[in-house]
Amino acid sequence: MFCHLRPVRRLCLEKISPHWFLYSRSLSGAEAVNALRPFYFAVHPDFFGQHPREREVNENSLKRLSVYLENLQKPGFKSLKPTQLTFYVRETDQNSSDGQEPFSTSGFRAVEFTLHTRDLLSTVLDILNSCSLSTEHLQSLNTHVHSQPLRQARRPPDRPIKWDKSYYSFTGFRDPDEDLEQVSRVETTLISWLDHNEKSAVKKLKNSLPLRRELDRLKDELSHQLQLSDIRWQRSWGIAHRCSQLHSLGRLAQQNLEALKTAKGCTLIFTDRSGMSAMGHVMLGTMDVHHHWTKLFERLPSYFDLQRKLMLLEDQISYLLGGIQVVYIEELQPVLTVEEYYSLLDVFYNRLLKNRIPFHPRSLRGLQMILNSDRYAPSLHELGHFNIPALCDPASLQWFILTKAQQARENMKRKEDRHVL
């Protein structure tokens, strides 16, 4: 009695179903996972680290969905119990005016749906549609399905696929349009970049001027009060951070000015640890409290004694190496304390004494060397100084210095000529 309804049913199916749906009635498990990739990226718990409740809901729902999909793929299954799932879906460019819950201020919305399908393809469609996610990418799914198309089905048009922006945001695939924009940005010239950022730079500079003036004022006042040679920073802290450090030093000066006067004539450096550097600069660790700073200033006389011993040790090494000058270059060497550098010099000096390398007195005057603990072979720097490992073989050191001495003098002369120009 219902035979006359069959043409109507076929016509309705043709109108409401996508063209590719008429070509395939089944998907493999791997194809279903690939088709659901936008969904997984939209609900993956890793994207909800700041929202533990929503993360837990998505984790539990994904476990139940996985069981549902596995049961669909089991051979001989008859029917599955309807499964109600709840997911929190991350925000996309699509609106949610089709009956979905509105987006929260956190950038996600709650979606509830019930699965009662009998095949993977219908399940995939239900999930994507329930979450308002695009299904167009299924057109390009390379399915190996041998089912024949319905007789009245129309062939989908051959045209390039234009993906929605949300597809790229969820799948992580590269958007060709954005790639073109990025290429055009990369090709931006320096002049155009400066022109584009000029107003922003001027505005930021103008806003920072009061704080910069405050930093200069604090630095000048403390340098004058403590009779310091200079105040510097080893790291590129922001201006506000630097002002805070100077304020802290100023409060200590008010509490114990006599102790701080021991730094007269020194360069003071704010850095990561307290002590005296190999260059003789007073280092204030920014993580230390006033008590540690006070102890440091009280110990400065003993540091000065060690510094004098260090300079004497450098002269003794220079004498053993034909008059070559031992120097410490901050820009080219690791940051060492005066204790660390003295220990390094002492090790090298004792090795020289033990082996007694024969150098003609003052034959290497005018040349320079820096001592390193992280090298295994001597080398000559392009600026003309020797890089000498503290533990290098003395015989090899003698041969290297003698064969490279002339080149070292030439390198130093080129450096001096560049400075003159």
126-164 per-position pLDDT tens digit: 888 888 888 877 765 544 443 334 333 344 444 555 666
Identify the residue whose tokens are 């040679």: 229
| 338 pLDDT above the threshold of 80 | yes
Strands 282-285 and 275-276: antiparallel
The pLDDT tens digits of the residues spanning 265-288 come to 999 999 988 999 999 999 999 888
Residue, of 417 and 39, whose pLDDT is higher: 39
Beta carbons within 8 Å of 138's beta carbon, 6+ residues apart: 18, 20, 35, 124
Beta carbons within 8 Å of 218's beta carbon, 6+ residues apart: 243, 246, 247, 250
Residue type, 365: R
User: Mean pLDDT over residues 26-33, rounded?
Assistant: 76
Q: Are 391 and 351 in contact (CB under 8 A)?
A: yes
Burial of 95 by CB count in 10 Å (0-12 exposed, 13-18 middle, 19+ buried)?
A: exposed
* Dihedral angle sign, alpha carbons of residues 307, 308, 314, 316: negative
Q: Quick one: tokens of 209?
A: 């001027």
Nearest to 223 by CA among 260, 278, 259: 260
Q: Quick one: tokens of 181?
A: 């924009």
Average pLDDT, the chain: 80
Residue 378: CB atoms within 10 A of its CB come to: 19
User: Mean pLDDT over residues 339-352, rounded?
Assistant: 93
- Beta partners for 108? 90
Q: Are 323 and 365 in contact (CB under 8 A)?
A: yes
User: Mean pLDDT over residues 389-413, rounded?
Assistant: 89
Nearest to 410 by CA among 372, 366, 377, 373: 366
Q: Quick one: tokens of 137?
A: 């990418």
DSSP code at position 261: G
Strands 108-115 and 83-90: antiparallel
Q: Quick one: tokens of 286?
A: 């920014």
User: Mean pLDDT over residues 106-115, rounded?
Assistant: 83
Helix (H, G, I), strand (E, B) or coil at 237: coil
pTM for the model stands at 0.53
| 411 pLDDT above the threshold of 50 | yes
Residue, of 173 and 320, whose pLDDT is higher: 320
Residue 181: C-alpha distances to residues 79, 169, 173, 196, 360 (Å): 50, 16, 16, 16, 67
pLDDT at 263: 94
42/107 Cα distance (integer angstroms) = 11
User: Mean pLDDT over residues 313-323, rounded?
Assistant: 92
- Beta partners for 90? 108
403/148 Cα distance (integer angstroms) = 85
260/331 Cα distance (integer angstroms) = 28
Q: Are 319 and 303 in contact (CB under 8 A)?
A: no
Nearest to 92 by CA among 35, 31, 171, 162: 171
pLDDT at 360: 80
Q: How far apart are the first and last CA of the chain?
A: 105
Q: Quick one: tokens of 7?
A: 């043409």
CA atoms in the 13 A half-sphere facing the CB of 260: 22
